[in-house]
Structure 1
Amino acid sequence: MTHSIPLTLDINGSPHTLSVEPRVTLLDALREQLQLTGTKKGCDQGQCGACTVLVDGRRVLSCLTLAVQAEGCEITTIEGIAGENGDLHPVQAAFLEHDAFQCGYCTPGQILSAVACIREGHAGSDAEIREYMSGNLCRCGAYNTIVEAVRQAAEASR
C-alpha cells in the first residue's frame, strides 16, 4: 500500500503544494493535479519529447522524472515562458512567424527544448540545431520550419 506524501513544487515562479504517491511522475502531477495541461503526454516512455519541461533551466522529460525529484527545483512549463504582461517569448513568436507546427501536439515540448538549446549555445548552425533538438519528435514533419524558428530566435538573442 502506497501513501501520499506532501510536496511543494516551484512551477513558473509560484509554489504549488500537493500530495502525491512517490511513484507519480512530474508529468502526471503537472497535468492531473495542477491542471497545467500544456505539457503533453506523448509516448510516456521518454522517446518523443512532447513532455519536455525545464528543471533548473535544463531540459527534462517529465514522463521519466518523479515529481518528488523536482522538489526544491525551479520548474518551467510552457505556461510559464511568456512575459508577465502576456508578451510571447521570442521562441514562441518565432514558431508562430515560421508556422513551425502543424497539429501542435509536440509544440510545447519543442519550444521548451528550443529555449534550452539556445541558452546552452547549441544553435550556431542548422545542423547543430537539428542535433540538439533531435530528442523532440514531430509526427507531422515540421522540422524545417522548427529549425528556421530556432535559428531566428537564436539570432535575435545574440
Structure 2
Amino acid sequence: MGSALGNGMVLALSIWDDYAAYMQWLDSDYPTDKAASTPGVARGTCSANSGIPATVESVSASASVTFSNIKWGDIGSTFGPGQPVGPTTGPTTGPTTAPPPTQTGVAEWGQCGGIGYVGSTTCQSPYTCHVLNPYYSQCY
C-alpha cells in the first residue's frame, strides 16, 4: 500500500445503484460473458444478483450517501504549509476555500458552510444552503 500511495492513486466513489452492471465490476464476477477463472474476472465473493438496484432500493429505500471534504489536485497540492499530508485520525477542520462565485453567493452544489469553512454562506438564487454534516453544507 505504501508503494502504491507513493506512486499516486485515484479516488473512486460509488453508490449501490448501478443499473448497467449491478456493481458486479466491484465485487462479483465481471464481465459476465467470461469465465470466473479468467484473470481479472473474479473480483469478489458477491453473487451476480446481489446488486440489482430494484432489490437494493426496496430493502434500503431511505439510504443516502454524502461525500464531503474531498480535495483533488496534483500530489502534494491539496495541503498548505504545516498541514499533514498523510492519514489523520479525524476530519480535517482547517479552513477551506470555495471557488469564486460567478454571481452573488455560492453556485448550485457548492459548499456554503461547515466547521472550518471560510467562504460565502449565501447561495445563488433560487438555491438554499443545506447542512449535510457538521463539516459540510451545500447549496441546492
TM-score exceeds 0.5: no
Greater helix proportion: 1
TM-score (norm 2): 0.23
Higher relative contact order structure (alpha carbons within 8 Å, sequence separation ≥ 6): 1
Greater radius of gyration (CA) = 2
TM-score (norm 1): 0.22
Greater strand proportion: 1
